[in-house]
Amino acid sequence: MDFMGFEFLMSGGGYYLVLATVFGLFMAWGIGANDVANAMATSVGSKAITVKQALLVAAVFEFAGAVLAGGAVTSTIRKGIIDSSGLESQPEILVLGMLAALLAAGTWLLLASRKGWPVSTTHSIVGAIVGFAIVGVGFDAVKWGKVGVIVMSWVASPLTAGIAAFLIYSSVQWLILSRPDPLDRARRYVPLYMFMAAFMITLVTLFKGLKHVGIHVTTFEAYLIASGFGVLVSLVGSYFISRIKVDKKADKKFHYHTVEKVFGVLMVVTACGMAFAHGSNDVANAIGPVAAVISVVQHNAVGQSASVSIWVLLLGGFGIVAGLATYGRHVIATVGTKITHLTPSRGFAAELAAASTIVFASGTGMPISTTHTLVGAVLGVGMARGITAINMGVVGQVFLSWVVTIPAGAGLSILFFFILKGIFVG
């Protein structure tokens, strides 16, 4: 580290820690307002759970996922998209860059959430880090191949999940909804779907959520644990399904009323599981840059990874829940009701497809965005009912917001980087 860099840290270390905390909380709030709303949208949109119940599920499971499995060690420079070797003699650039990136990504998520656009929080922070790297370190510091792979996920994620959701919902239609005795068939087959949902969501948690905690399981052990959870959930679910009473009056108005109540039990399971998996994985988007600033200020170290204190995980968990509570309704409305009409059976098919795609991607290394995956799954369910069941105007707006996310994050980050540099460096 050069003398100027050392002097920079000594003169304002406390300020940078405070700013990192505030901006990190803002970014976590943005994740809650946008990404968590995504995870809850299918459950709320299908009316399996209310908005208040979704908030309770998120408060417990997102927070638990973020704090318990959010990462003892997290990558400080997300996805390895920039070469940090050029920053070792310029710690002030990394500190200001990470502060700018957090503020930029949080600002973009605020704007997108206000419009009801479900965008990728990972892409938001990646774009922001690319922006500061270009002006702070140099164009060559960005690993453009990595950025290209991320851009590929705009197609890969929704397409894979959409096909999976189409097939899953088609199987529900064929096995249950198109039969003369749909309720009896629902009681018979929904426990099997419950097994599949619990199995996939457990794998999501093991492959993506617990990798930072020091819990290492082999692929065989992961599948064994997931199978056990699947059997347990299907047995418990079967008990609750057996207690559902037939509402003949409601069934006259809507033939599948009681059948959808059976799927509603399943949606509660998937909502809890996806919330835990999401909290454990995506909280790193907010706390990774915070950890980078803390590492530089406290240890004068510029590295790819840094230990994360429990208070930083708590900060991320609190911010995520606060974001959903205060602003999540906008994105919930888009994904849950505006793209296509969802019922519990359709919402379940979308969530199972999303979880299955995440598991497939984890095993194959396919670039993926959880947001794009879920939106693609909702589209797939809509396609199973015909193209007219989809609001193409809303879909067009969503796709446009995906394309704009990385450039928007980069542009805002460049702006904030120069502002912060002007304030602290002069």
pLDDT tens profile 17-38: 889 899 999 999 999 899 888 7
Residue with the bigger pLDDT between 426 and 401: it is: 401
Answer for the pair 123, 369: CB distance below 8 angstroms, yes or no.
yes
| pLDDT exceeds 50 at position 409 | yes
Q: Which of 119-128, 278-287, 312-321 has the lowest mean pLDDT?
A: 278-287
Q: What mean pLDDT is predicted for residues 235-260?
A: 81
Check residue 239 and give its pLDDT: 87
34-92 pLDDT per residue, tens: 988 877 888 888 888 888 888 888 888 888 877 776 554 345 454 567 777 766 667 77
Q: Token pair of 281, please?
A: 């994985």
Q: What mean pLDDT is predicted for residues 334-356?
A: 87
C-alpha span between 365 and 362 (Å, rounded): 6
Average pLDDT, the chain: 82
Q: How many angstroms from the chain centroid is the CA of residue 277?
A: 8
Check residue 162 and give its pLDDT: 93
| pLDDT exceeds 50 at position 369 | yes
Check residue 26 and give its pLDDT: 95
* Closest listed residue to residue 302, CA positions, set 49, 84, 34: 84
Q: Token pair of 163, please?
A: 């096909």
Q: Which helix (DSSP H) or strand (DSSP E) does residue 12 occupy?
A: helix 3-31
Check residue 157 and give its pLDDT: 84
- Report residue 10's pLDDT band, with 50, 70 and 90 as the boundaries: low
Answer for the pair 144, 406: CB distance below 8 angstroms, yes or no.
no
- Report residue 379's pLDDT band, with 50, 70 and 90 as the boundaries: very high
Task: Please list, in sequence order, all residues whose beta carbon lies within 8 angstroms of the beta carbon of residue 352, skipping any fewer than 6 positions away.
Answer: 164, 165, 168, 193, 196, 197, 200, 270
Name residue, tokens 């409305």: 333
Q: pLDDT above 70 covers what percent of the chain?
A: 86
Angle between helices 284-299 and 257-282 (to 10 degrees): 10
182-233 pLDDT per residue, tens: 888 888 898 898 898 888 878 877 776 555 556 677 888 889 999 999 999 8
Q: Which of 117-126, 182-191, 358-367 has the lowest mean pLDDT?
A: 358-367
| pLDDT exceeds 70 at position 170 | yes
Q: Which of 106-115, 296-305, 339-348, 390-399 has the lowest mean pLDDT?
A: 296-305
| pLDDT exceeds 80 at position 340 | yes
Q: What is the pTM assigned to this prediction?
A: 0.84
261-299 pLDDT per residue, tens: 888 877 887 788 778 777 776 777 777 788 778 777 776
Check residue 109 and give its pLDDT: 96
Domain that holds residue 325: 3-424
- Report residue 3's pLDDT band, with 50, 70 and 90 as the boundaries: very low
C-alpha span between 195 and 205 (Å, rounded): 15
Q: pLDDT above 90 covers what percent of the chain?
A: 24
Check residue 143 and give its pLDDT: 86
Count of structural domains, the chain? 1
Answer for the pair 308, 287: CB distance below 8 angstroms, yes or no.
yes
- Report residue 260's pLDDT band, with 50, 70 and 90 as the boundaries: confident
